[in-house]
Every structure is written in C-alpha cells, then in structure tokens.
Structure 1
C-alpha cells in the first residue's frame, strides 16, 4: 500500500521505520545523536562521506554549545574535513592539530572548551602564535575561523605532489627575500609624505611580509582621494592598490630560483637596480608553476600594456588575453562610483557633482571608445618567473592605474541622457587618442567656440596637458593644468580649475607678477581633491605642486644602510 506526500510516493514500510527511529531517539541527548552520526560516517565505504550524513553532522555541530574539550575537538575536526585538511589529537589530548602538506595549526585546549593558544607552523619553520585565529576560537566564531583556514590553504594552492609543493614554496620564500632586498635599496625622495613616496615611487612599492599565513603584500599605487580617505578614517594610509605575492600552477614548466639571486650586500647597476645572479641549473629548478602578483582589486589593463608585460616576463603572460572589452566598459563594471543597473550604451553621460553645488556633465561616446587601442582585459593575477620582473611590471600597473583613476573620476551614480547637459555648468566629451592619451572637448559659457584639452599620461609620474582654444595660447597655462592634474588626479577638479583660470586671464589686462603663481594651485582647487569624497574631507585636500618636494630629496630613504649593509634578516 502506498500514499502520496509532498515529496511523492512513500512506502508505508519506510514511514513506519522512520516513526520507530524517531521515537527511539526522541529521548536521546544531542551528544548521543552526534556520536551516532560520527559512527555512520566512519563506516562509509571507499572513504567517501554520504552528503546527507555530512550535512546532518554539520547541523548537530552548530546546534551544540561548545562547553567541553570534546565538543571543541569535534567542531575543529568538522572544519578541517570541510577545508580538505587532516586532523588529530595529541597523546595527551590537550592539542588538536589541523594539518596540510605545507603547514599545520596547533590548537592548545583548556577544560570547558576553552582555547589557550593557536599556532601556525609553515613548512620547515617553528610554530608562531596567531592572535587573530585565537580570538576567533575564543569568541566561538567558527565560520570566520573556517574562512581564515580557507585563505591559508589557498595561499598554498601549489600544483603537484608534496615534493613539488615543497620546492615551489621554497622558491617563493627566496623570491620574498630578494624582493625585500630590492625594496630596501637606497633611493631619493620625491614626495614629502614618506609612506606615499614609498608606495608611488619605491622600486616595488610598499612591501609588507606575510603575517599569520597571509602572503607578502606590495602596495603599488594610491590615488590622492584614496590617500585622503585612508588618512581620515584610520590615521594611516591603507586604501591603495595591492598585489599579493604567491605561486600558481601552469601547464608548462618554468625555471624558478632555489636560492637568493642578489648578493649581500647587493651590487647595483648604473640605474640603481640590483645585479642578479644568472638562473643556472645549480641555483634553480624547472617546476610546473610561476610566481603571481594577485591584484586586489582586479585591474582592467589595456591590451598594449599586457603585451608589454608579456615581453618583460619572456612570454609568461599571454600576449592576447581571451576576454577583451573596451576599457571604459571594464572600468564601469569595476568602479565603485558606477550604478550597475545602468547599461553601457553609446552616448553614456554622467553628472558629476563638485563641492560648492557645482555640477559637470561627462560623455563617453561608446563607438569611439571601442577602438582597438583602448581594448583591455580584467587581470586578477600577473604571472612572472624572476624577481627582476617585478619593478618593471609594477611600473606598468602604476601607469594603468593612473589612466584608470583619471577616467573613473568622470563616473558617478547619476547617469542621464544627453538632455541632462542643460543641468550642468560644464559639459565635456571624452575621446580616446593613443593608448595613453585622450582629449576633453568642452565649451565655456562666454565663448561660442569649442575648446579641447589634450591629456597625455606618459606614466604614473608624468602627465602633460595642452589646451587648444581659438585665439588663445598660453604655455604657462598648460604647465599649470598639468600640475593641477598630477596633484588631484581628477578630471572634474582640473576642468573647474581650467575654466576659472581662463576666465581670470581673459579679464586681466596684463599678467600679475606673483612669485607663487607659477608653482601653486589656487585655494579653490585645494578645497576638493576628489568628487567621491564627502564635503568634510574636501577642506583638507591639497593639490599644491611642491616647490621643493622634499628638503632632503638628495638623501636616500635608507641611506644609513648604504654603509652599514642590509638588516640581518635580509642577508
């Protein structure tokens, strides 16, 4: 006899059996039910875990209050199984180990389900306490703890068997040593802020060693707006573009270093870069992997720049990426200022508000921006095989970041049709030129003619502007506009400065001799550094071009190391 339920036909015998099981275990405690499910899992064949049983075990674990060492161990074992890690208890049952090929974690247990310490041990290294993992377990935040383990395991996502993984990891550690040596070579200052100068002008940016299992990080670019946001919210700059130094698998083998390639103390060439030891069979191995710069956030990169990176890395980077799109569309998809509900169509227009109730309109003609020179691809990782590749790769990433920041400054969450230009004080149309140049066409209210501002982004350190207007030419004005753009990295703020300066020059009968005028940006421009900032931050902005960028520009940041040598940990 059969009857139908919401899930379909069910045998009466099965229903009776389920009722008997339910009544049999109705009075059982959670711990007894938990042990029963564990025994069922241990009896699975071929090491395969039945998915319904695994889900049942997870639900029971989450329902249990971790108030004993046994409950804590059970929860840790379940997390290890979910993340593909091994687990076992020490003979004294006071330490729970979570193990992988290249690292393991020690959880020191106390009575009552409490945790004394959590230590992370990397391959060949002594265990080191991890305050963040310890805090998560003490707060019983097991889901967050599990995610941390996943991040740690992904750092060691190295191809091959245990022997290959160990060799790739060893190569990665030698790479980190060389990158530290490069970052600490003496150099001259360009910016008054030491931290900003290190990010923007350091040979490989601001390098931070990995902590608690996280990889080495390189902060390689930060815009003036992000720098101000970071300073305002936390008191320190931490809002820039970051690259994580890791390793990844490849179909072909690459020769990777198995020792440091830079002598101690480093020998430098005429350009101030270190001289590397050749990659011979004695100091390197062919391995199915490459090093990676994992970009956070992923960066839209012009195809011409990707080709340049491919030449730097001797073909490690594919010359032609698979998914190519117009750069402005990629920027729209990744920009925090863009409304994702708005489609990328021809004639897309943004209304960009500026402090002081001023509003500009910026148009990106889709057909023109779809040209081949301005096609790009979204890159989340840059593969390479030699520490000498990193400085040149980062310069290209900085160059691309500068172009992206300028174009993104014209985006906003307010997109309208072309008729919306009537609502703005200034309407500008951006048109692409070469792969690092674009033009801004606009019309001043008091003029019947169009004007064009040509912008050339030579690299992240050098930009030039040329204003083309009928019956108006001023080379000093071009230099002034270039300085403003470099200091604020915002097209709307630069365009406002252009309009105000042109208006003032037209009304003045003759130039006024002002010793500071050729070097400083007006106070009106200093008020706002980015349209994305709140008004509270705008008064703190500074877009001045430095007369003397640093009183000690001739001194190296680490000049005392030039004679004393590198720190012991870098030797």
Structure 2
C-alpha cells in the first residue's frame, strides 16, 4: 500500500509537467550518480525510453540525444555552439546542427587527418533513425579498435592506410580478362579481387570468390552462391612484426616475369616493429582443410594458432553451415549423412557421405574467420588459396544444398560421395546404360581448373569427360552435372557417341539435356572455360573407389558380365562399394 501511495504521489506531482521537464530531471539525476564512471542503469534505461517517445524538435534535444549515444558507445562528447563532437582515441565525428534540431552535415576524421563527409550517417540523423546511427557508430569504433597506447595506435593506423593504398594500386595493374562478366572476372580472377574502398563506417573490403551459379538465374541453380569477402584490418599479436609505414610498391608499378606485382623489400622502405599484424577477416568464415591451413601459414610470417582451431571432417562443417543441416534424414547410420535433393523435371537425387570415409586425416578441417599477414605481397597468394578451398567447398556443398526434398517419396538416383585426395572426390552411381556401377572423379586443381574423369566398363569416349568437365565448371554443382551425365549415358544405348567427335559439336547439337545451365549455355561455357578432362599421371593415381566400382560391378553384382582380363582395366581385390544400397542377393534393382 505504501508503494502504491508513493507512485500515486509521483503521478500527481508530474501530471502537469512537460516531457522536456521530466527529461531534464532524469538528466540531472544521472549527473548526480554515486558511481560517476557508470551511471545508474535504471536511470539510463529511463532516459532511453523517454528519448524514444520524445520528439526531437530543437537543437538542445538533438544535442542530448547525441550525448547519450556517445556515452553508450564509450565516446567523449563536446559542444561548441552549433557543432557536436563525438570523440574516440583514433577518430571523431563532427555533427553540425540546425536551430530546429535538424542536421546540416556529418563528418568523420581520424585524429590528425582531414574530416570527410559521411552521407550515410547524415541521412540516418536527418531521418531520426538513432538506433541505426548507433549501430553504425559501433561499427566505426570497431574499425578503429586498434591495440596499444595512442602512439602505437596512430602508427598502426598509418601502416594500415599504407597497406590499403598498395592493394588499390595492385588492383589497377593491367591483366588479361578471363571471364565475360567484368565484375565476376574481377572477383574471381583479380590479383586482389574486387576492392570496395573503405568508407567512414567500414574498412577496406575484398570480394574474392563467387560461384558461377550466381551468374545463372535459372531453375537449375541448386545452391544460392554467396560472395566471399574479407575485411582488411589490423589486430594484436603476441610477437612483434615489421610493418610498412609507407608504400612498398616501386613507382611506376612493375610486374615480374610471372605477371605478379613487384614489391620493395621492407629494408628499402620505412617500417616499424610493432606488436600487431594485418588481418583478413573472412565474411563469412571459410571451412579449410588441414593442408590448406598449413599452406596459409607458409605464405605469411604470422602464425594461425592451433589453440583457436576446432577440427572436424570437412562435410560436417559444410553441413552445419547449410540451411539443410537441420533437415538431414537419419534413416541410416548416424555417421552417414543422407540428403535428398529435388532437381528440375521431377527428378530426385539421394547423396550419401559415409562418415567413416570422411574421417580421414586429409579431410580434417576447421572454420577460419581471420588470417594474419604482414606484407601486401601476401594477399594475392592468400586469396588464391582461399579461392581454391571455396571452389572445393562449393562443389561438395552442392550435394546437400538448401533446396531439399522434404517428401517421403523414393529417390530416382542414388550417389555415394567419397574423398580421394585433399582436392578431389569421387561419386559412385548406377549406370543407366548398363547394369553396373560407374565412378566420376572430380579433381579441383584450383578455382579455375576442375576436371572430371569417368571410370566404368566400356566408357572410352574422351569427349564425354571433357563435356562433363565443362558443365561442372559452368554450374559448379554436382547434382546438375550428374543429371547431365546420366542423360548422356542413357543416350549411349540408342546413339553411341563417336570417339572422334569433338565435345563442342556434341554440346551444341545435344537437345536431350533438360537445363539451360548445361545445354543452352554449354557452347559459350566451352569458350569461357576451356577445360581438359585428362588427369596427368603425376598428379594422382586412379582412385581406389573407381577400381572398386568396376571390380564390384563385374565380379559381385553382375556375374553375367564378361569378366575377362582384357576388360578389367584396373585389377584390384574386390571391395564393397555402397554396401548400404545393396539387397541381400547383392543387386541394386530395388533401389534404382
């Protein structure tokens, strides 16, 4: 009763007072807080609620609103007539106000630098969108969140700005285009990708990989490709590193015989020994295999610490980042991942990734969100490795894409995906033209060289492998490629392909493949992505799964097939391929 009486008295006391008077009272109470370093949280929340309903119609109310936002972000606040200054260690905001409470201009400047107008922050304040303005200010603070005292911070900021300028010079060096789309070509093939100049609220950003599926707005695009990017920032380091304090690119810029930019050694350019290093902050983070982590370490002078890395099989990391991860079918052993994907034309594919096969050391992977480095010369090499890994991830991830069939109907085609090396995998499936198994070996040499090799009895047409390699490069999707391959193999029964017939002619005259991804654009794909399907002997040996598939198809599944030594190209001890697909008598007829 006493509490209710106090509240009633307060209501009566302030019933006739204006919002402005109440607002000023709360402000005075905050100034008298017992702990000056941290105002009373109840008072802060009260002030925030008041300001949310308080109409900003005067210069004083706008000043009060900006002061509260500055305190929320841990920044200083100063006023000189009609100008407010929100200050941090390495930068400040200059906000010029109008008498009516409006905003005339907003500028951002690093300490010691010239203020630059900020159109985005200006529009947020003019529209009274204070919540988004506060978010932008927090992002700006993160950009300048540099370790060390003020002297070290200023040196690191100078070094970072020199790095940005050098990367921009590298991006402007002449090179030969490799893609018909200039933007895609710059992202996937540029020496430092596509640079997005650092604005007032974000650092310099590099876009360095985009899957070709993002170029094709067709129903055949099973995966929604994401533009892979990286912010170029600086971070604290346990050891000191020599960092540039001026440009390390000779003037005029030069290229070495391999077409790479030439750089001055740090001994010939101003530099400082500082307790920090540059960072590529990956957006989004990238699952990377152990071999690629080692290669990244070999490029830079900085170390990616093992203690921060959590290791798991690559498919597991990719599945956890896929929208379909929560809808995985558990009809088989918990160690095996099974995904059912719908394709255009009512076709359904089932992909099985045996857990035991992917637990091998070569597929041990971790999610990397930042890569330390110390020189601009490291960036092109780092981006090439990241592109290589992203291409491999894109292909493997297409086997459990976000568009997943949630129905309980049976699948038309079943595939088993197995690792073969650090950068290759195989797909085993039942052939439509023969009652036997075949294996498609996918070898990802780098982001621009992907070859497919087909193993199976009686498959001797080299143009078919070249055609499939082209389709794979064009769509970057295993399901789309296998659908095209399945149709091609089915046509072999009625109209066998001529071994001497060029793949280009076959692609142009083919009217059976059901997608614009694989047929309509195939001739152009051959022009844009010339690809050889051959696998050098010194690259890697014939995969064991390919040998097993041929052997099983002849000796275990289908004993009526001729098993003479002349037909067995790769004799090995028969081994079970896709054992969970077999029936008790060893046949696939019930599932295929």
Superposition map of 1:406-421 within 5 A: 406-413=395-402
1:298 is matched with 285
Q: Which moved more, 1:335-344 or 1:256-265?
A: 335-344
**1:88-143 deviation digits (Å, cap 9, x = unpaired):** 111x2x11111112221122211222112222223333222222111111111110
CA distance 1:282–1:275, change in 2 (3 Å): closer
CA distance 1:71–1:342, change in 2 (3 Å): farther
CA distance in 2: counterparts of 1:20 and 1:155, whole angstroms: 49
Aligned residues of 1:350 and 1:361 also touching (Cα < 8 A):
yes
1:405 positional shift: 0.7
**Aligned partner of 1:215 among 200, 203, 206:** 203
CA distance in 2: counterparts of 1:477 and 1:540, whole angstroms: 17
CA distance in 2: counterparts of 1:428 and 1:463, whole angstroms: 20
2:541 is matched with none
1:48 positional shift: 2.5
Alignment pair present for 1:348 and 2:348: no
The SS at the match of 1:166 is helix
1:430 is matched with 417
1:333 positional shift: 1.7
TM-score normalized by the length of structure 1: 0.84
CA distance in 2: counterparts of 1:274 and 1:198, whole angstroms: 16
**Aligned partner of 1:330 among 317, 320, 342:** 317
1:559 is matched with none
Q: Which moved more, 1:442-451 or 1:15-24?
A: 15-24
CA distance 1:345–1:107, change in 2 (3 Å): farther
The SS at the match of 1:179 is helix
1:323 positional shift: 0.8
Aligned residues of 1:364 and 1:431 also touching (Cα < 8 A):
yes
Aligned residues of 1:105 and 1:120 also touching (Cα < 8 A):
yes
1:431 positional shift: 0.8
Alignment pair present for 1:82 and 2:72: yes
Aligned residues of 2:324 and 2:403 also touching (Cα < 8 A):
no
CA distance in 2: counterparts of 1:514 and 1:276, whole angstroms: 45
1:436 positional shift: 0.7
Number of aligned residue pairs: 521
1:25 positional shift: 3.1
For structure 1, the residue ranges without an aligned partner over 5 or more in a row are: 4-11, 231-236, 531-538, 551-571
CA distance in 2: counterparts of 1:200 and 1:345, whole angstroms: 37
Alignment pair present for 1:120 and 2:108: yes
**1:384-432 deviation digits (Å, cap 9, x = unpaired):** 1110110110011101110111112111457689x96x72221111111
**1:177-209 deviation digits (Å, cap 9, x = unpaired):** 111121122211212222211111111111121
**1:214-272 deviation digits (Å, cap 9, x = unpaired):** 21111100111223459xxxxxx995211111111222222211110111112322212
Alignment pair present for 1:457 and 2:437: no
**1:126-183 deviation digits (Å, cap 9, x = unpaired):** 2222221111111111101110111111111111121111111100010011111211
CA distance 1:247–1:342, change in 2 (3 Å): farther
C-alpha RMSD over aligned residues = 2.9
1:319 positional shift: 5.4
Aligned residues of 2:470 and 2:526 also touching (Cα < 8 A):
no
Alignment pair present for 1:501 and 2:488: yes
CA distance in 2: counterparts of 1:545 and 1:140, whole angstroms: 50
Q: Which moved more, 1:490-499 or 1:104-113?
A: 104-113
1:287 positional shift: 1.5
CA distance in 2: counterparts of 1:322 and 1:190, whole angstroms: 35
**1:423-474 deviation digits (Å, cap 9, x = unpaired):** 2221111111211111101002443211111111111011111111123222
TM-score normalized by the length of structure 2: 0.81
Alignment pair present for 1:32 and 2:12: no
Superposition map of 1:239-318 within 5 A: 240-280=227-267, 283-318=270-305
Aligned residues of 1:526 and 1:543 also touching (Cα < 8 A):
no
1:545 is matched with 525
CA distance 1:170–1:368, change in 2 (3 Å): same
The SS at the match of 2:451 is strand
Asked which structure has the greater RCO (Cα within 8 Å, sep 6+), the reply is 1
CA distance 1:360–1:214, change in 2 (3 Å): same
For structure 2, the residue ranges without an aligned partner over 5 or more in a row are: 219-223, 531-592
Aligned residues of 1:347 and 1:364 also touching (Cα < 8 A):
yes
Aligned residues of 2:417 and 2:428 also touching (Cα < 8 A):
yes
Aligned residues of 1:227 and 1:240 also touching (Cα < 8 A):
no
CA distance in 1: counterparts of 2:465 and 2:488, whole angstroms: 11
